[in-house]
């Protein structure tokens, strides 16, 4: 995989460099609530601009239906990128139309432009190779060189991720190089004990990675909404908590395999429950109650791991040489149910081992709860991409960057 430093050594001054970034940031209206992904790609964009490239930044945002939708415009991300670069960033109001063509043509050496949300064009996500390839061809006409740096999208076989690199000289940006280096420490170069913390809402989202990690991890700690399927599989009452009944047989199998392989599978000993899901906008106080994990009252919903579990999980992470965490422990967006996620984050901060926060909601939680990002070994920009890499899958966006 060619590096951006090798590309820079060849010279990029005056060249149109297409940077496939991941600017898929959370928005409240037009306000960015977490700019972590923009800050993560800034070094690549800044270095190319400093070297005299004419930088074209492209990304998706959200899930528009293959047509323009103002709610998913990249305009706020382009404005924030300009603030972080300390320079004007031009913005094209389409992807490959008149605005994009004119905006790119107007760039001078060292200038940066962002084109509109790639998913406003159906060709970006098309299953049909020809349709996807046609869009990639239109994107390729805008540029001379391709730099892949949108790690959060490399597990997608999309036009700008998979097809476009084949049409241009290409290299990997700084972010992708860093992400891949970190993931190798979780797969090929693991220091032990190796502990994994998995959370989030659905156990089905994590089954494949659990299957893979049962061959590699020393401990697996489970929290979040997915834990109630595990508790139900053990025969416990879970009240009105989230459960995936169809996944119970698979969960039982994994618990048995963990026992056979000597992998420590750690589940909560207490949980925080309430009468129902809280209002995340109002964030008004609710009436939480901490109960034993095997005694959730009928009609009550589990929304976080309890304080005793937080202490238990911290003890299981204290001596870990490597920790991977993906998925919050509860509904961290509401203060009544954030303490479990806070306890795990603090345990990673306190641990002397190498800690990786696996993107998505986990990365957002770290920032929302006020932790210093530098206190962690690495905060990934791609939750889904990280999980698929750990599952042993070939990621299309990384394969496309191989020479």
168 is in an annotated binding site: no
Residue whose tokens read 């579990």:
309
37 is in an annotated binding site: yes
83 is in an annotated binding site: no
Show the tokens assigned to 228: 């109630």
Cβ atoms of 94 and 102 closer than 8 Å: no
Interatomic CA distance for residues 240 and 403, integer angstroms: 52
Instruction: Give the dihedral sign, CA 200/206/210/213.
Output: negative
Of 16, 20, 37, 132, the active-site residue reads 37
216 catalytic residue (yes or no)? no
62 is in an annotated binding site: yes
36 is in an annotated binding site: no
22 is in an annotated binding site: yes
156 is in an annotated binding site: yes
Cβ atoms of 308 and 339 closer than 8 Å: no
359 is in an annotated binding site: yes
390 is in an annotated binding site: no
- Spell out the alpha helix ranges (H) of 276-350: 307-317, 339-350
340 is in an annotated binding site: no
User: Radius of gyration over alpha carbons of the chain, in Å?
Assistant: 22
Of 152, 223, 330, 384, the active-site residue reads 384
Show the tokens assigned to 177: 């190089």
Of 47, 167, 185, 202, the active-site residue reads 202
219 is in an annotated binding site: no
Interatomic CA distance for residues 47 and 288, integer angstroms: 49
Of 239, 360, 382, 383, the active-site residue reads 360
362 is in an annotated binding site: yes
202 catalytic residue (yes or no)? yes
192 catalytic residue (yes or no)? no
Interatomic CA distance for residues 403 and 37, integer angstroms: 26
23 is in an annotated binding site: yes
363 CB-near residues (< 8 Å, 6+ apart)? 34, 36, 357, 379, 380, 381, 383
Interatomic CA distance for residues 38 and 104, integer angstroms: 20
Interatomic CA distance for residues 179 and 24, integer angstroms: 17
82 catalytic residue (yes or no)? no
206 is in an annotated binding site: yes
24 is in an annotated binding site: yes
Interatomic CA distance for residues 44 and 343, integer angstroms: 34
Cis (ω within 30 of 0) for the bond into 294? no
387 is in an annotated binding site: no
178 CB-near residues (< 8 Å, 6+ apart)? 378
Residue numbers belonging to the annotated binding site for ATP: 206, 302, 333, 359-362
Active site residues: 37, 202, 360, 384
Residue numbers belonging to the annotated binding site: 22-24, 37, 60-63, 119, 156, 206, 302, 333, 359-362
Residue numbers belonging to the annotated binding site for substrate: 22-24, 37, 60-63, 119, 156
Residue numbers belonging to the annotated binding site for (2R)-3-phosphoglycerate: 37, 119, 156
């Amino acid at each position: 995989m060619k590096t951006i430093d090798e590309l820079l050594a060849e010279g990029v001054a005056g060249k149109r460099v297409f940077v496939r970034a991941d600017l898929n940031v959370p928005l409240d209206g037009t306000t960015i609530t977490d700019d972590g992904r923009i800050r993560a790609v800034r070094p690549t964009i800044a270095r190319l601009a400093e070297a005299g490239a004419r930088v074209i930044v492209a990304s998706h945002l959200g899930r528009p239906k293959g047509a323009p939708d103002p709610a998913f415009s990249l305009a706020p991300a382009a404005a924030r990128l300009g603030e972080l670069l300390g320079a004007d960033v031009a913005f094209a109001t389409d992807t490959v139309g008149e605005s994009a063509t004119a905006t790119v043509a107007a760039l001078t050496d060292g200038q940066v432009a962002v084109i509109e949300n790639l998913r406003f064009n159906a060709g970006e996500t098309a299953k049909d190779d020809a349709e996807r390839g046609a869009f990639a061809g239109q994107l390729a006409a805008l540029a001379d060189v391709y730099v892949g740096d949108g790690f959060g999208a490399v597990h997608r076989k999309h036009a700008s991720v998979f097809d476009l690199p084949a049409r241009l000289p290409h290299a990997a940006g700084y972010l992708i190089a860093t992400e891949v280096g970190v993931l190798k420490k979780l797969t090929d170069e693991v220091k032990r004990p190796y502990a994994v913390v998995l959370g989030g809402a659905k156990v089905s989202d994590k089954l494949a990675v659990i299957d893979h990690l049962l061959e590699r991890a020393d401990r697996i700690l489970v929290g979040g909404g997915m834990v109630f399927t595990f508790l139900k599989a053990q025969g416990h009452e879970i009240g009105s908590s989230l459960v995936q009944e169809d996944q119970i047989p698979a969960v039982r199998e994994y618990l048995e395999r963990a026992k056979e392989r000597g992998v420590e599978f750690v589940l909560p000993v207490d949980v925080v429950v309430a009468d129902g899901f809280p209002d995340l906008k109002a964030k008004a106080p609710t009436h939480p109650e901490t109960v034993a994990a095997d005694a959730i009252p009928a009609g009550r919903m589990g929304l976080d791991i309890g304080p005793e579990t937080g202490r238990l999980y911290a003890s299981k992470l204290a001596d870990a040489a490597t920790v991977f965490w993906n998925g919050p422990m509860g509904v961290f967006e509401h203060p009544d149910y954030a303490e479990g996620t806070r306890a795990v984050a603090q345990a990673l901060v306190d641990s002397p081992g190498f800690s990786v926060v696996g993107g998505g909601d986990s990365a957002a939680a770290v920032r929302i709860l006020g932790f210093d990002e530098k206190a962690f070994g690495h905060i990934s920009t791609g939750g889904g991409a990280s999980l698929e890499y750990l599952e042993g899958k070939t990621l299309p966006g990384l394969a496309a960057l191989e020479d």
